[in-house]
Amino acid sequence: MSGQKRQSLLGKLISLLTYKPVSRSEFVLPELENENSRRAAPEDKSNLSYESEDSGNSGKEKDTATKKPVRASKWNRVKGEKGHGDKGSRPQEISPDVDVNLEIIKDEFNIPTNIDVIIREFKLAGMVDAFIVFIDGMADRGVVNDFILRQLMNPGQFENYKGGCVLEYVTGNVLSVNQAKKLKKYEEAITQILMGVTVLFADRCDSCLAIETRGYEKRGIEKPATEAVVRGSQEAFTENLKTSVTQIRRIIRNKDLVHEFFLIGKQDNSMASILYIKGIANPDVVKEVKRRLASIETDFIAGDGMLEQFIEDHPWMLVPQVLTTERPDRTAANILDGKVAILTEGTPFAIIVPANFFAFIQTPEDAYLRWQYGTVLRFLRISAFFIALLLPGIYIALTNYHPEMLPTDLAIAISKSREAVPFPSIVEVLLMETSFELIREAGIRVPGLIGTTLGIIGALILGQAAVAANIVSPILIIIVAVTGLGNFAIPNYSLAFGVRILRFFFIILGGIAGFFGISAGLVMLVARAVSIKSFGVPFMAPAWPRAGRSPDILTRYPVWYQEQRPDPISPVNKKRQPGISRGWVKGKPPEGKRE
């Protein structure tokens, strides 16, 4: 006993002093074989399997002898054959044998590894073998239980069944669901299942039935987060495509409102819809939109933002070329103007094409208010746009190059306040602008409770402290703050972003060449802006090039004055309302009630 103890003590001592190699088991991600060849088809993972090591798969072929490099064209050819081989082994059309279908479905959906996909086998009317496939959570269980299983398992419903494909009978006589569609291909069936539809396979039928059972958790309709108005509807889009389209249909109760559906994205099958009014929207524009959408080949469309980047004309420009909005009423107004709206599943935003510069300066509130208020606000926003773009640049140009253009008092005040500052003006400006951007970016991520307080305190105290420490001059704080405010006043988020970037361009130009540099910069900016097009419509229309007197670009005329739809998008039907749209101004009030 003691010997053991002593041994263990000694042993412990010794073990303290001796070196023991550490046994590591770290996870390493090996490179795939032939990964260097850029032209490898992405689906080629035939060397790897998703099962774990001890399920008996061979795996670990990476330490075999190095393969000889294969010529690229031959590699592609080989891949091509093999690639389609996977799918080719599965037939396209649904087979009448329900067991074959079962096997294929199980194989496609990786059942039973994938626990979400439920296969429920049963006997139709006690006679026919059948099964339904659905995704738990996407399909509404209540509907599946009540309307599908109950009705299908009830032999009483099948009294008039004479034989032949049972699905025909079921559709016509048994199922009391509002949408049921026959599908002939596996591909379609799989897509439908993934969307939450229940698919019914039955024996001796070479088609399957897709039954509408969608019912999943989604966010309810809430207030718009970024486009708040005081007087106007307070609904915004949601992530669910169907709900969003419904919201638009609630506003435009027009039989010609066409809703077309696209599936984009290979791996995630994103759903995208376009809406337009047939008879108002220019058919060429619609064709172009459809062409661009249909030609996108990519993995994954996260939502509106990515879709916008895929279909826009000039991806290298700093300004957006499509209008993004969160509000169904604005979308509806634009659709009625003759534009096309694109919605995707997953983001509560709609894209409206074609868009022009003036659309970015308008807010939906302008339409709800009287025309005077809207007009004044628009002028304010345009000035905010120019302030946000040019103010720091002009400040630098004025103080460094043209002090004679300032009134004397102002010039001396600026000089005095700069006395103790150690930086040259332009360094100061860049420093402050960068910190402002930092504050903005940080403010997005600060948790809600301390968010607002931190913003105010941060800006105020930071600014005050910086001024008291003589790092910046107080005038500059004002300039940066006003620039920031101007930036926030721009209604469109993307455009505001573009302006944020462009103002640095103007700061640098103002810093190297004063007003002359800023004029040159303005000319360059304008030259670029007037030459870009958004879906065939010049960006700065209808002002440059001149295109019809539009009653709604900057100055908003009264609503009864707006008789034409906007000209630059060439709508098919131009007239919106007749010359006199307020009939009551023509006639007189009834007798006895006149002045």
Partner 1 sequence: MRKKTALLSLLLLLLPAAGCYDRREPDEIAYVVAIGLDKGVTDRLRLSLQIVRMADESGARGMPGGGGQDTSPGDEPIIVTLDCPSLFTGMNMANSSISRKFNLMHAKLIIFSEELARSDDFEKQISGLMRYIEIRRIMHILVTRGKAEDFIRENKTLIGKNPPKTMQMLTDSSALTGMIPDANLFNFYNDFKSTFQRPIAILAGLNTFENLKNPGRGEIQESTSGGNYLAGELPRKGYLKRELLGTAVFNGTEMIGELNGTETRALAMIRGEFKRGFYTIKDPLKPDYLVSLEVFPARKPYVKVDLRGETPEIFVKIRLEGDLLAVQSAENYEKPDMKPVLEQAFESEIKSQVDSLVAKCQKEFKSDIFGLGRSVASKFLTIEDWERYRWHEKFPGATVNTEVDFIIRRTGLILKPSPLVTDGGVHK
Partner 2 sequence: MLREGKIGVFEAISVITFMSATKVLYSSSRALVEASGTSGWLTTIVSGVTALAGFYFIILLMSRFPGQELVSVFETVFGRFAGIIFSLLMSVFFLLNSAMFAREFIEAVKVYAYPLSPPSFLLVIFILAIITVLYFGFECVARTAALFAWPMLAGLAVIVILAVPLYEMSNLYPVLGHGPACIIKTGLLRSSVYGDALALAVVINSLQGSEHFKKSGVTAIILSTAIIATGFLIYNLSFPYYIASESTIPLYALTRSIEYGRFFQRFEAIFLFVWSISGILASAINLYFALSTYSKVFRIDDHRALILPQTVIIFSVSLIPLDISSIAYEHVNHIRQYGSAIYFGIPLLALLVAVIRGIRGEQAGA
Cβ closer to partner 1: 2 or 408?
A: 408
Give the span between the Cα atoms of 79 and 115, in whole angstroms. Answer: 32
Q: Which is nearer to partner 2, 61 or 404 (CB)?
A: 404
Task: Provide the token pair at 217.
Answer: 């958790």
φ, ψ (nearest 5 deg) of residue 180 = -145, 130
Long-range pairs of 415-419 with CB within 8 A, sequence gap ≥ 24? 417/473, 417/474, 417/475, 418/473
Of the candidate spans 167-175, 303-311, 506-514, 535-543, the one that interacts with partner 1 by CB under 8 A turns out to be 506-514
Q: How far is the CB of 356 from partner 2 (least distance, A)?
A: 13
Given partner 1, partner 2, none, residue 106, with its beta carbon under 5 to 8 Å by kind, binds: none
For residues 181 and 210, is the Cβ–Cβ distance under 8 A? yes
Binding status of residue 500 toward partner 1 by CB under 8 A: no
DSSP state of 360: G
Residue with tokens 């400040």: 395
544 binds, among partner 2, partner 1, none (CB under 5 to 8 A by kind): partner 2
Sign of CA dihedral 500, 406, 381, 473: positive
CA dist., res. 98 & res. 204, Å (int): 7
Out of 54, 253, 408, 584, which residue is the one contacting partner 1 (CB under 8 A)? 408
Report how far apart, in Å, the C-alpha atoms of 260 and of each of 285, 312, 458, 565 are: 14, 20, 49, 23
Angle at 266 between CA 95 and CA 191, to 5 degrees: 35
Residue 464 interacts with, from partner 1, partner 2, none (CB under 5-8 Å by kind): partner 1
Helix/strand/coil for 473: coil
**Residue 130 or 398: which CB sits closer to partner 2?**
398
Residue 287 binds which of partner 2, partner 1, none (CB < 5-8 A, kind-dependent): none
Tell me which of partner 2, partner 1, none is bound by residue 524, counting a contact when its beta carbon lies within the kind-specific cut-off of 5 to 8 angstroms. partner 2
250: its two tokens: 């609630």
Q: Is 189 helix (H, G, I), strand (E, B) or coil?
A: helix
570 touches partner 1 (CB under 8 A): no
Output 57 or 464, the one with its CB closest to partner 1: 464
- Which among 233, 507, 227, 238 has a CA at the least distance from the CA of 360? 227
Site string for partner 2, 485-524 (x = CB under 8 A): ----------------------------xxxxxxxxxxxx
Nearer to partner 2 among residue 216 and residue 544 (C-beta): 544
One character per residue 544-573, x = contact with partner 2 (rule: CB under 8 A): xxx---------------------------
Q: Which is nearer to partner 1, 315 or 548 (CB)?
A: 315
Q: Does 530 bind partner 2 (CB under 8 A)?
A: yes
Residue choice 414, 480, 502, 518 for contact with partner 1 (CB under 8 A): 414
The interface with partner 1 within residues 384-403 (CB under 8 A) comprises: 399-401, 403
**Is residue 512 close enough to count as binding partner 1 by CB under 8 A?**
yes
Site mask, partner 1, residues 454-493, x = CB under 8 A?
Answer: ----------x--xx-x---x-------------------
Distance CA 97, CA 130 (A): 10
CA distances from 391 to 106, 402, 426, 495, 515 (A): 64, 15, 13, 17, 12
Partner from partner 2, partner 1, none binding residue 456, C-beta < 5-8 Å depending on class = none
Rounded CA-CA distance 22/329 in Å is: 66
Min dist. Cβ of residue 522 to partner 2 (A): 7
# binding residues, partner 2 (CB under 8 A): 32
Write the DSSP string, 30-48: PPPTTTT-TT--TT--TT-
Q: What angle do CA 477, 479, 482 make, to 5 degrees?
A: 105
Residue 468, token pair as written in the block: 């008291």
**Among the listed residues 286, 289, 271, 292, the one whose alpha carbon sits nearest the alpha carbon of residue 347:** 271
Based on CB atoms, which residue is closest to partner 1, 65 or 468? 468
292 exposure class (CB count in 10 Å sphere: 0-12, 13-18, 19+) = middle
Residues that bind partner 1 (CB under 8 A): 399-401, 403-404, 408-409, 411-412, 414-420, 424-425, 464, 467-468, 470, 474, 508, 511-514
Residues that bind partner 2 (CB under 8 A): 398, 401-402, 404-409, 513-524, 526-528, 530-531, 538, 540, 543-546
